[in-house]
A and B are shown apart, each in its own frame.
Chain A
Amino acid sequence: MYAQWVLTALLAWPLIAGVAILLLPGRLAKYVALAASLVEFAISVPLWWAFVPDGGMQFTADHAWIAAWGIHFTVGVDGISLFLVLLTTFLMPLSILGSWSYITKREGGFYALLLVLTTGMIGVFVALDLFLFYVMWEVMLIPMYFIIGVWGGDNRLYAAIKFFIYTFFGSLLMLVAILVLYLHAGRATGIYSFSYTHLLSQVASLGPTAWWLFGAFFLAFAIKVPMFPLHTWLPDAHVEAPTAGSVILAGILLKMGTYGFLRFALPFFPAVALNQTVQLVIVILSLIGIIYGGLVAMVQPDFKKLIAYSSVAHLGFVMLGIWALTLQSVQGALLIMINHGISTGALFFLVGMIYERRHSRLIEAYGGIARVVPLFSGVLTIVSLSSIALPGTNGFVGEFLVLLGSFRTYPVATALATTGVIVAAAYLLTALQRVIYNPLTNPENEKLTDLSARELVVLVPLLVCILWVGIYPKPFLERMEPAARALIEHMRP
């Protein structure tokens, strides 16, 4: 019973709650939204135990939707998507709680959009019908566009439209590629369906068309990841978005790109993806992302922008791990996807909290605040260390696995990528020093208040996760392993 309905419920519930919030008075919005997102989380938690690592696609549901085109509402999760779904439901209540006092205008609209966004994000991760996947991929665009554009910073209009047009551009070409796949499979078998397994079974006979299709999928996902040089929308969007928007952007939306590679671009076009030149290009772009992202982060005066560029670097590791295609590297990539959501999410929360107090995100506006706000500084230190990948934190496990696994496939590239870890230490530790240590020079900082109970409630679950994954990642890895292994088996020429 649970297995049949859980995913449908996870998709429907936020949508219903979102509409309900619009109908209720605005002052109730955040309470209802928090309750709804907690219910959503509660629905999703049993997935952790009910999930059978060796079971392949699970919790599947399949209903006819648009019969004329063979479109079904098909959903399911495997070891790749399970954690992304859980990450989404886990981050949503925290994001809502983190926006508690940050969002003051049009609250009803904001929380309703957050919940609709939840549906879109979970939909992307569980869709097993390419039409449904495309619809969900686009559906989450509009709430995010509004969240940045209405509740964002000073330059929000520019950031919002840039975010929208970049993603829209990539996804529309993917739409044509999906259609070509659909017609190809339909002509070959006589069955016209957008089902993932059906399309996957017919890709072997694509021939040279596969190159074009791979290009279209690659563009859509690479923009989302984002890979260098398609990353320019990211700093704008991250910086201008309100805290919850940044957390979700970094925590979940970026993962849709890497998830797309794992679920679609690689399995559909193994011949193209394993082509020497393609591999070389992608590994070089990932390397550039790791090192360039880190170097640019080093010179950012704005803390939020620094985190945004650090995301480019982290996602570079993920791409390297995916393309190395060894068991460790793919597992590591999956783990970094989770870790980045937790650590970067926590960093954005912390920046948002200090911004609410001082209305400045500039690193130079602070200094020596460890004495004034010890709790804040302590949490910031732990989270930064996890982002640097210090052993004992979650960041270490993921990056270590990626480097270990990739070394077998790309020794030189992996050696170069290791410098990325050092660069990360350089920019985050410098920033940490300038913000919380150094002498307290700015008198405005003397009256800062430390973290409130509500803010601690937001941060403590994230800290727990940071340490849990860092010290005992086995429950995560064992659930991922069969799916990662299946992918590698599938890709073996």
Chain B
Amino acid sequence: MRLDPSVYRDLLLSLLPELVLTGWALVLLLFVAWRHKTVRDLRIAGWLTLLALISTAVATWWLWWNRAGVQGVMTMVAADDFRWVADWVFVGAAALTVLISFAYLEREQLLAPEYYVLLIFGTLGMMVMAAGADLMVIFLGLELMSVAVYVLAGFDRRRARSAEAALKYFLLGAFASGFLLYGIALVYGATGTTNLGLVGGQVSIMGKPSVMLLAGLALLIVGFGFKIAAVPFHMWAPDVYDGAPTPVTAFMATGVKAAAFAALFRVMNQAFGAVAAWHDIVWWLAAVTMIGGNLFALGQRSLKRMLAYSSVAHAGYLLVALSAGGAPATSAFLVYVIAYTLMSLGAFAVLAAKGRGGESDVLIDDLAGLAGKRPWLAFALAVCMLSLLGFPGTAGFIGKWYILIAATSAGQNTLAAILVLTSVVSAGYYLPVIMAMYMKPAPEPSETAHVEVGLDRWGRTAVAAVVVGLLLFGVWPNRLLELARSAVESVQPAATTAVTPP
């Protein structure tokens, strides 16, 4: 199905998933304007959100099924399989977040259904980012997403930590947006356009890139670097992840990161494919992020902070894929981001169940004896940890393996070696979690011990889905790989597609 953006109907069709979600967001806003007092209202809002996400996923599926594509270069939004797959990741992350939010919000007495509205707007922003074929659209999506997530981070108003997280995130995020916008302005100055395809055309006929273009590119990377929490722009991440309510942290660590990466991939490959300089910058960024993230994580005793730093480390692995460039790298990115979203959300879901009411500090040692008391929960967390570690049999391994293939086939053996060596380091903080759960005796009941909360039915559903997904994709990833491969064929401009192995 070819869509012509100059025809009004086609333009609307190419934005169908976003429009569906926007419609639902408005419905939900109206709903919570009248009904925002009781637990029941909260539940209904949650169910409506799930319904909204499902219908968005179906709309995305419909476009994917009909092989929707946009004619010509001069478009504001792209319609390709890369976008649809990214949309599914965002919608999936949001849906899993909703499932683990039910019990959490009630337990922590956060009885405000606006939570779900913000979640929808955040997801919408992500989808716009992944769709953007123009720097302005990407910026619009980024802001929509960021503003919603700033509020979500500070959603637990009574806790100072949550407010601190929101303020920190907002201030640094505003800075990052400033960098990004300035970068866009400079790129516009150098090329006279903000459309990615046209920028790409300008850059390739420019020959040697001008200083203004390089400065704009550098600022763009800095702006995105903040959003994906790459070292050295990661300073905000641990505090914000730690302070935000746990389901929100899960959403930030997966959806927000995936969206920023999706936009970054599109910008770099479509607009700056001909500029060699960014490969070096991203190379160093990837190396420093992997080393830094893993080493910092090694020193953490709090599970949530450990996961925060581990998400920094995983941003490093994804940067390896970006640095490798080419079609396999983009496929590897999609596969990894799907695996990462699943395993990260699973880990945060278990954490949300473990956190005591009113406080979310769970030390790794607090998990001692969990395997005896809650064997399935411990098993789920163990699978997530092994997957994060990149152990064979889990989706995390397939993702890492794909990134390694992409890196080595691009000739970046050093980066691949850094990736695997830092993975060994990561065993030093993922394994203690398993060790605490299975090999340490349960502590004596005491005042300071965490109250056993457990997961409610929906949380269990989410965690079970995650574990099944991780193991299934770990053993039989053929479908996933096929999807990722076909998704990428549409995003790569033909000129920069190198001859690379499958």
One of A139, A145, A172, A180 near B413 (C-beta < 8 A): A180
Contact B424 A172, beta carbon cutoff 8 Å: yes
In the assembled complex, A200 has its CB within 8 A of some CB on chain B:
no
Apart from the given pairs A68-B481, A161-B428, A176-B416, 19 other A-B contacts in the complex at a CB distance below 8 Å:
A66-B481, A145-B431, A149-B438, A157-B435, A157-B439, A160-B435, A164-B427, A165-B427, A168-B427, A172-B420, A172-B421, A172-B424, A175-B401, A175-B420, A176-B404, A176-B413, A176-B420, A179-B408, A192-B502
Minimum CB–CB distance from A237 to chain B (whole Å) comes to 14
Given contacts A139-B392, A156-B439, A192-B502, contact A164 B478 (CB under 8 A): no
Chain A residues within 8 Å of B428, by CB = 161, 165
Given contacts A68-B482, A139-B392, A160-B435, contact A173 B417 (CB under 8 A): yes
In the assembled complex, B490 has its CB within 8 A of some CB on chain A:
no
Most central of A160, A161, A164, A172 by chain B CB within 10 Å = A172
In the assembled complex, B126 has its CB within 8 A of some CB on chain A:
no
Contact A142 B391, beta carbon cutoff 8 Å: yes
In the assembled complex, B485 has its CB within 8 A of some CB on chain A:
yes
In the assembled complex, B352 has its CB within 8 A of some CB on chain A:
no
13 contacting pairs across A/B (C-beta < 8 A): A69-B405, A134-B392, A139-B392, A149-B439, A157-B440, A160-B435, A169-B424, A172-B421, A175-B404, A176-B408, A180-B408, A182-B405, A183-B408
In the assembled complex, A67 has its CB within 8 A of some CB on chain B:
yes
1/0 contact string of B423-436 vs chain A (CB within 8 Å): 11001100110010
Chain B residues within 8 Å of A142, by CB = 386, 391
**C-alpha gap A135/B393 in the complex (Å):** 8
Q: Which residue of B lies closest to A184 (CB)?
A: B408
Minimum CB–CB distance from B264 to chain A (whole Å) comes to 25
Chain A residues within 8 Å of B424, by CB = 165, 168-169, 172
Q: Which residue of A lies closest to B432 (CB)?
A: A161
In the assembled complex, A186 has its CB within 8 A of some CB on chain B:
yes
Contact A149 B435, beta carbon cutoff 8 Å: yes
Q: Which B377-416 residues have C-beta < 8 A from chain A?
A: 386, 391-393, 401, 404-405, 408-409, 413, 416
Minimum CB–CB distance from A330 to chain B (whole Å) comes to 31
1/0 contact string of B177-200 vs chain A (CB within 8 Å): 000000000000000000000000
Contact A67 B478, beta carbon cutoff 8 Å: yes
Chain B residues within 8 Å of A192, by CB = 501-502
Q: Which A53-96 residues have C-beta < 8 A from chain B?
A: 66-70
Most central of A150, A160, A173, A179 by chain B CB within 10 Å = A179
Chain A residues within 8 Å of B439, by CB = 149-150, 156-157, 160
One of B391, B405, B427 near A179 (C-beta < 8 A): B405
Contact B392 A183, beta carbon cutoff 8 Å: no
Q: Which residue of B lies closest to A165 (CB)?
A: B427
**C-alpha gap A164/B428 in the complex (Å):** 10
In the assembled complex, B477 has its CB within 8 A of some CB on chain A:
yes
Contact B477 A183, beta carbon cutoff 8 Å: no
Contact A66 B477, beta carbon cutoff 8 Å: yes
**C-alpha gap A175/B408 in the complex (Å):** 11
Chain A residues within 8 Å of B482, by CB = 68
Q: Which residue of A lies closest to B481 (CB)?
A: A68
**C-alpha gap A14/B438 in the complex (Å):** 23
Minimum CB–CB distance from B23 to chain A (whole Å) comes to 38
Number of interface residues of A (CB under 8 A): 33
In the assembled complex, A138 has its CB within 8 A of some CB on chain B:
yes
Q: Which residue of B lies closest to A190 (CB)?
A: B501
One of B391, B417, B421, B438 near A146 (C-beta < 8 A): B438
**C-alpha gap A44/B389 in the complex (Å):** 34
Contact A183 B409, beta carbon cutoff 8 Å: yes
Q: Which A157-200 residues have C-beta < 8 A from chain B?
A: 157, 160-161, 164-165, 168-169, 172-173, 175-176, 179-180, 182-183, 186-187, 192
Minimum CB–CB distance from A282 to chain B (whole Å) comes to 23
**C-alpha gap A79/B424 in the complex (Å):** 34
Chain B residues within 8 Å of A157, by CB = 435, 439-440
Contact B416 A186, beta carbon cutoff 8 Å: no
**C-alpha gap A150/B421 in the complex (Å):** 27
**C-alpha gap A142/B502 in the complex (Å):** 30
Chain B residues within 8 Å of A175, by CB = 401, 404, 420
Q: Which residue of A lies closest to B482 (CB)?
A: A68
Contact A68 B478, beta carbon cutoff 8 Å: yes
Chain B residues within 8 Å of A176, by CB = 404, 408, 413, 416-417, 420
**C-alpha gap A364/B409 in the complex (Å):** 59
Minimum CB–CB distance from B219 to chain A (whole Å) comes to 34
**C-alpha gap A134/B485 in the complex (Å):** 24
Q: Which B445-501 residues have C-beta < 8 A from chain A?
A: 477-478, 481-482, 485, 501
1/0 contact string of B325-338 vs chain A (CB within 8 Å): 00000000000000
**C-alpha gap A192/B416 in the complex (Å):** 19
**C-alpha gap A176/B419 in the complex (Å):** 10
Contact B392 A173, beta carbon cutoff 8 Å: no
Chain A residues within 8 Å of B431, by CB = 145, 161, 164-165
Minimum CB–CB distance from B146 to chain A (whole Å) comes to 36
Most central of B405, B428, B435 by chain A CB within 10 Å = B435
**C-alpha gap A4/B404 in the complex (Å):** 33
Chain A residues within 8 Å of B409, by CB = 183
Most central of A138, A145, A175 by chain B CB within 10 Å = A175
Minimum CB–CB distance from B150 to chain A (whole Å) comes to 39
1/0 contact string of B21-42 vs chain A (CB within 8 Å): 0000000000000000000000
Contact A138 B420, beta carbon cutoff 8 Å: no
**C-alpha gap A180/B477 in the complex (Å):** 22
**C-alpha gap A182/B404 in the complex (Å):** 12
Chain A residues within 8 Å of B401, by CB = 175
Q: Which residue of B lies closest to A192 (CB)?
A: B501
**C-alpha gap A333/B459 in the complex (Å):** 55
Chain B residues within 8 Å of A150, by CB = 438-439
Contact B421 A135, beta carbon cutoff 8 Å: no
1/0 contact string of A126-145 vs chain B (CB within 8 Å): 00000000110011001001
**C-alpha gap A176/B416 in the complex (Å):** 7
Chain B residues within 8 Å of A67, by CB = 478
Minimum CB–CB distance from B420 to chain A (whole Å) comes to 4
**C-alpha gap A168/B393 in the complex (Å):** 15
Given contacts A161-B435, A165-B424, A172-B423, contact A186 B501 (CB under 8 A): yes
A-B interface, 7 closest residue pairs, ranked by CB to CB distance from nearest: A172-B420, A135-B392, A68-B481, A149-B439, A138-B392, A169-B424, A179-B408
**C-alpha gap A164/B404 in the complex (Å):** 22
**C-alpha gap A146/B386 in the complex (Å):** 13
Chain B residues within 8 Å of A145, by CB = 431
Minimum CB–CB distance from A483 to chain B (whole Å) comes to 28
Minimum CB–CB distance from B438 to chain A (whole Å) comes to 6
**C-alpha gap A187/B500 in the complex (Å):** 9
Chain B residues within 8 Å of A179, by CB = 404-405, 408, 416
Minimum CB–CB distance from B382 to chain A (whole Å) comes to 9
**C-alpha gap A336/B478 in the complex (Å):** 42
Q: Which residue of A lies closest to B391 (CB)?
A: A138
**C-alpha gap A146/B393 in the complex (Å):** 17
Minimum CB–CB distance from A176 to chain B (whole Å) comes to 5
Chain A residues within 8 Å of B485, by CB = 68
**C-alpha gap A156/B391 in the complex (Å):** 22
Q: Which residue of A lies closest to B423 (CB)?
A: A172
**C-alpha gap A134/B477 in the complex (Å):** 17
**C-alpha gap A169/B405 in the complex (Å):** 19
**C-alpha gap A183/B416 in the complex (Å):** 14
Chain B residues within 8 Å of A180, by CB = 408, 413
Minimum CB–CB distance from A73 to chain B (whole Å) comes to 11
Chain B residues within 8 Å of A161, by CB = 428, 431-432, 435
Minimum CB–CB distance from B95 to chain A (whole Å) comes to 27
Q: Which B323-355 residues have C-beta < 8 A from chain A?
A: none
Chain B residues within 8 Å of A149, by CB = 435, 438-439
Minimum CB–CB distance from B64 to chain A (whole Å) comes to 19
Chain A residues within 8 Å of B417, by CB = 173, 176
